[in-house]
Amino acid sequence: MVDWSLAASTGALLVRGGPVVDREEAEAAVADLRELTSEAEGHVRELTGLGLDLPLLPAEVVDRPGWVRSAASGLDALTGRALPQAQGGPLGPVLASGAGVQTGLVLAFLASRVLGQYDPFGGPDRRGRLVLVAPNVVAAQRAMDVPGHDFRLWVCLHECTHRLQFTAVTWLRDYFADEVERLIGGLAGRDADGLSDLVGRLPDTIKQIGTGKTGGAGLAELLQSPSERAVFDRLLALSTLLEGHADFVMDAVGPRVVPSVELIRSRFTARRKGGGLIDRVLRSLLGIDAKMRQYEQGAKFTKHVVDAVGMDGFNAVWTSPNTLPTRAEITDPAAWVRRLHG
């Protein structure tokens, strides 16, 4: 239960301002991002073979508050199916307001870091929205001291890959929404016995984390029931695939169309690992560091499969939910190749 309108207004109010950019530079960056979207998606389609018959659509270029509002709208659409307001009871509005403020704080923090995003549930018709956050793209390019046009095209390659994943693979959007609904619905539907069991397992779980024998799992993951864990594993494997596939594509296309791609990749990878102590703590708490590992694991999976069976063989991954890699196969791509290709 989240008041998404309050989350959007809170995040938009609290988000930090972007870099100081003169009007001419800002307008040039915005125009470049809009024009590069179609070019980038054409390159991605040529490499992957996905969506060759789809129309080439522009992206929305937004500022940081604009991204907050877009993200809140998409999350509202995604979670609304699993958490209808009718379940709130008499304290529903109070709980939703508190969650809205907390979510707004998180969105405000993320809004200064996100370069772009394809939201399959955003937009006026809730059918998808590709947004590029101009001040963040400019800030990152300046901080890394890389060519502006090259970097903007490189970012567009990544985000356009995400758009193609959801628009060319027609079943993916509904599958993702159904899995999120199962996970959230299961957590929200716990009865008193379920909550009591969770609290009872908390001390041992914390001790397990302290010993370092969790296999990298976090507290929330360790407290899941077996059915919740199964859904979580499927969602984690899917998101790792999507992020890694996009990273692989942007670097595979890059040498042909982005002259400085090696410089950009090396500096961008170093930048992902940077930040002061407070920033690193916040990133860990919000799961951003885990997200960074997804890029690496998913890219390794994609590269291994493409090297083994080619892009057409890799594209078997998009046939149905049953052909998606499992969480175990993400780190053992040879197992996926054996399962799908013998």
pLDDT for 290 equals 64
Q: Is the pLDDT of residue 138 over 80?
A: yes
pLDDT tens profile 42-82:
999 999 999 999 999 889 999 999 999 999 999 898 887 66
Strands (E), the chain: 60-62, 116-119, 129-133
Poorest-confidence range of 192-196, 257-261, 281-285? 192-196
pTM: 0.83
Average pLDDT, the chain: 83
pLDDT tens profile 156-195:
999 999 999 999 999 999 999 999 888 887 655 544 444 4
Give the pLDDT mean for 138-147.
95
**Residue 322 Cα to chain centre, angstroms:** 22
How far is residue 196 from each of residues 163, 178, 232, measured CA to CA in Å?
Answer: 42, 27, 21
Q: Is the pLDDT of residue 219 over 50?
A: no
pLDDT for 280 equals 53
Give the pLDDT mean for 278-299.
67
Q: Is the pLDDT of residue 103 over 50?
A: yes
pLDDT for 220 equals 52
pLDDT tens profile 269-281:
887 765 554 555 5
Instruction: Name the most confidently modeled range: 141-150, 206-215, 266-275.
Output: 141-150
Q: Is the pLDDT of residue 248 over 50?
A: yes
pLDDT-derived band at 304, boundaries 50, 70, 90: very high
**Residue 336 Cα to chain centre, angstroms:** 23
CA distance 71 to 65: 10
pLDDT for 232 equals 86
